[in-house]
Amino acid sequence: MKKLIAILLLFVFLGGNTGVAEEDKLNQAVVRGIVERFTSLHYAQVPLNDELSKRIFQLYLDSLDSGHYYFLESDVKEFRAKETSLDDMLRRGDVTWAMDVFTRFLTRLSQRQAMLESFLEDEFDFDKDGQWRIDRKDEPYPKNEDEAKETWRLKTKFDLLTLKLAGNTDQEAKDRLLKRIRSIWKDYSQYTDDDVIALYLNALTRAYDPHSTYMAAEDLRNFDISIKLSLDGIGAVLRWEDGYTVVNSIIPGGAAARHGKLAVDDRIIAVAQGTEPFESVIDMRLNDV
């Protein structure tokens, strides 16, 4: 199937005196227009129906919590009440469900940050055997806060060990984990309504096919930069995930494809040029890798 990147730009100019009600109406009109245009022009011509609504539901949750670290099982059960209604809501330009889910995500993120900070006050015994599944997308959501706490205890232990193996001292590893979670909180807590809408509309476009992407203006500028870097550099499109640089896709004919050892979802923890020593890129932003 022919690959297509569908890039939709959302330009919303709001005056300083625009009220909340007027802003909501404007957002609703813009979203409704984008949905109508995208669904009518997309080459796949897939109907926006309950089945697509289910895909949008899962893709949006995955965009916030693909590793099932933050939401509880009860959260997802509550969200699922609208699982087959998102298509109708999007046609009306109604994004309240996405906003509510994001608000809950911020609450859970704040709680998980508090858990991590509490764990870092204690010492871990790395001599004891333990197991941790790195790829958690198929793991169940924690049933309650106790299960969430145990998940984060194991995650914290694994992340500390990873940082220690990369040459960090105990304190340096703890400092980096604190910096990471605080950076994640800072980024998400500064999301505007437009940012959340962009995230939600991207779930819509990806529900049609994985090569269709919604991009707001700032996202498009960052995309242009990342594509240039992927073509000029290692030949892979990268993403940032929980402090790690992760391979999102391999560019055909690029350096990574020719090398043959780099795969999608691989984590890049250190880089080197020529005979120079490896430098850790854990917690490093994509623009700096």
Q: Where are the extended beta strands (E) located within 7-104? A: none
With cut-offs at 50, 70 and 90, classify the pLDDT of residue 96.
very high
**pLDDT for residue 181 is more than 80:** yes
Residue 86 pLDDT > 90: yes
Give the per-residue pLDDT at 219: 56
Q: Cα Rg for the chain, rounded, in angstroms?
A: 21
Residues 6+ apart with CB under 8 A from 198: 10, 214, 215, 216, 219
d(CA 86, CA 19): 26
Instruction: Name 230's Cβ contacts closer than 8 Å, sequence gap at least 6.
Output: 236, 237, 238, 251, 254
- Could you give the percent of the chain with pLDDT greater than 70? 77
The single-letter code of the amino acid at 200 is: Y
Q: What mean pLDDT value characterizes the chain?
A: 81
Q: Between these two residues, 59 and 274, which has the higher pLDDT value?
A: 59
d(CA 73, CA 78): 9
SS3 state at 96: helix
**pLDDT of the residue at 199:** 92
What the block records as the tokens of 193 is 């309504």
Domain ranges (residues) in the chain:
20-215, 235-288
Model pLDDT, residue 10: 41
Mean pLDDT of 180-188: 92
Q: What is the mean pLDDT of residues 45-54?
A: 84
pLDDT single digits (tens) 16-30: 444 545 667 667 777
pLDDT at 1 exceeding the cut of 60: no
Query: How does pLDDT run across 202-261, given as a tens digit for each residue?
Result: 898 888 776 556 555 555 455 554 555 554 567 777 777 767 788 877 877 677 777 788
**Averaged over 142-161, what is the pLDDT?**
96
